[in-house]
Amino acid sequence: MARESSSDHTSGRDAFRTPISRFIVSSGAERPRVEQEYEPGSTIANRYLVDKTLGVGGMCTVYLVGDKTRKDRPVALKLVAGETNSVRIETFRNEFRILSHLEHENLIRVFDFGVLGADGGFYYTAEYIDGKDLREAAAGVPEETLVDYIVQACRGLEYVHSRGYIHYDVKSGNILVTGDGVVKLTDFGLSALAGRGLGKRIRGTPAYTSPEIIMMADVDARADLYSLGVTLYEIVAGTQPFRTRDLHDLFHKHVAEAPTPPRSVNPDVPEYLEQIILRLLAKNPADRFGSANAVIAELARFVEGEIELQPASSVEGYLRTPPLCGREKEMNQAAFALGQLGKGSGRHVVIEGVKGIGRTRLLREIFYSAQIEGYAAVFGRGSEPGLFSSLADSLKSFPQIESLDHPGSEGGEDGRSVPEGAAAAKSALPDALARIIAASEQTPVVICIDDLQDADTYSQKAIKRLSQLLATSSAPPLLLITSFRNDGGSPGTYAPGVLRLSLGPLDRGEIGEAVSRMFGQSRAPEIFVSRLADSTGGVPHAVVETVRMLVASGNITLVEGKWHFRGGVEVRGSLVAGRVLRLAGRRARRPSPQICPQPRAA
């Protein structure tokens, strides 16, 4: 593994003299002064009632809050306030952006992203995890419980890697365990797509950083496995494999020194687990496990019972949110419309196509993009009673919107035609729609409405009025995005300037990409993709549901990255993301020891 050096005479520890500025780290940085701390009982963004502060660290404060729109359970609100560093702000946006595309039982789920005025900061909400970090949770637990925690963490990592991402900050503090024993990977702020060069930047926490990142070599998912190895070493040995206060010395140890075997520190560590940890800590990525699933398979060789690579509940995550494929053109057009909105130009965008073509998925992707860009974005469905009143009420939660009063909102709820001219058009709008216009005159607004064909006549006419208004030269900074199911007919005529995104079927290449990425980077056989394309017509929902129906019977399996078909590709059976590893019980049954030492007091 070659290292870039400015001098042929540089050697030894001096070879690892790396400026601190190269690091993009997740913790340890001085926290900027926060202008406003939210006390219990206060409200954030006119929507979230603060129950208590869950934690403060780095650039963020995390609150336990009640969401007025999600009254069934509390959520965690992660807030960045007073931060001016553009890299850190982008890190925060990046975390939400990535997590909004991922859904797996071993990953934290996110809900909404928002901006608190010009200087109030950024926030996003996520599921509240009432639990401990992995090191705390593993202290004193039986061996089989620790193995279960490791397996769950690997399942989450396998899913992340299958979607093409590298976490870059795997450590105990970013792996939480709920009271029910469910492991959740968190903190994706430093994550990035695999293959995206890091340049001269190093991502991660120094104590857990892999040698190839330090050496600026090619990086893939095995960098996360190295960090997992450091994490597991710390859990079973009670100390990190490399300890030093000097950053450059730490780099040298990561790259050049072998770790002390864990059993030398804690004799209670099983030999098989020590070997797994040491392999994860291999300096050369080629000497590590090739995937997180391979770690699970190795554990299964030594543990009694059954271990599933991905149980049915995990497989559902692969199927429920397959990667968005074949919609690059439409996403680029939507991105351009969002950019124009930032310049004060509003318009109406229509996403249309047959049932199952992916209208809702595309609309959701655009909605998340609008949230991340900091626009006041709200989402509704055509069938929703009081649609526009609900959308207007949702806009009240944005702090940059002070009032929804509109002096010209005196139109009724009938279907009268819109008078000529923008001013007259505004005066003819129903009250709820006029309040939305009033909001857009204070800050750019994005309104997303799914399945407009299910809306009542009143809502349909209101949309037509708003579309006509957005076609005028004095249109407010409002981006209206509607989806319409067009099953062979026509959604009707639109005002001039409406951008119509007509979605067509996926071609075979796009189907192959989507199916392959559902279950990792293993390329689906061409003949299978061809049959799938013929049977589904390239309709994305039909592709996913066909694969979903194929899941239960086990006629098609992926074993160690290879596709296997029981009965040939003609079979109408099941595609299983993981196989059950049946174990012969390599060791005699015996009481399971507690192999993890209690964390030492700081």
SS3 sequence, 562-582? EEEECCCCCCCCCEECCCEEE
End-to-end CA distance of the chain: 37
**Residue 20: its pLDDT value, please?**
40
Per residue in 300-337, pLDDT (tens digit) is 988 877 787 767 666 666 666 667 889 999 999 999 99
Q: Residue 496 and residue 43: Cα distance in Å, rounded?
A: 42
Q: Let me know the angle formed at the C-alpha of 201 by 197 and 203, rounded to the nearest 5 degrees.
A: 90
383: tokens are 């069938």
**Residue 201: its pLDDT value, please?**
62
Going by the DSSP 8-state scheme, the letter that residue 596 receives in this structure is S
Core vs surface per residue 146-170: b (16+ CB within 10 A) or e? bbbbbbbbbbbbbbbbbbbbbbbbb
**Residue 175: its pLDDT value, please?**
95
The parts of the chain modelled with pLDDT lower than 70 are 1-36, 57-58, 84, 117-120, 193-202, 310, 312-322, 404-429, 488-493, 519-522, 551-602
SS3 387: helix
Contact partners, residue 57, CB within 8 Å, separation at least 6? 27, 31
**Length of the chain as a residue count:** 602
Core vs surface per residue 508-547: b (16+ CB within 10 A) or e? eebbbbbbbbbbbebebbeebbeebbeebebbbbbbbebb
**Residue 473: its pLDDT value, please?**
83
- Show the beta-strand stretches assigned E in 257-316: 306-308
Diameter over CA atoms, the chain? 86
**376-381/445-450 β-pairing:** parallel
Going by the DSSP 8-state scheme, the letter that residue 108 receives in this structure is -
Q: Residue 554 and residue 567: Cα distance in Å, rounded?
A: 11
Q: Residue 299 and residue 291: Cα distance in Å, rounded?
A: 13
Q: Residue 602 and residue 594: Cα distance in Å, rounded?
A: 22
What angle do helix axes 271-280 and 292-300 make, rounded to 10 degrees? Answer: 170
**Torsion angle defined by CA atoms of residues 413, 419, 422 and 424, in that order, rounded to the nearest 10 degrees:** -70
- Residue 344, exposed/middle/buried by CB under 10 A (0-12, 13-18, 19+)? exposed
SS3 316: helix
**Residue 492: its pLDDT value, please?**
58
* List 112, 169, 224, 451, catalytic entry: 169
Check if 169 is active-site: yes
Distances (CA, A) of 356 to 330, 333, 538: 16, 21, 10
Q: Residue 400 and residue 49: Cα distance in Å, rounded?
A: 18
Q: Residue 54 and residue 43: Cα distance in Å, rounded?
A: 16
Residue with tokens 């394309």: 533
Contact partners, residue 201, CB within 8 Å, separation at least 6? 22, 23, 24
Q: Give me the percent of the chain exceeding a pLDDT of 70.
A: 74
Which residue, 541, 488, 534, is CA-closest to 508?
Answer: 534
Per residue in 138-185, pLDDT (tens digit) is 999 999 999 999 999 999 999 898 888 899 999 999 999 999 999 999
Core vs surface per residue 20-41: b (16+ CB within 10 A) or e? eeebbbbeeeeebebeeebeee
**Torsion angle defined by CA atoms of residues 94, 37, 77 and 378, in that order, rounded to the nearest 10 degrees:** -80
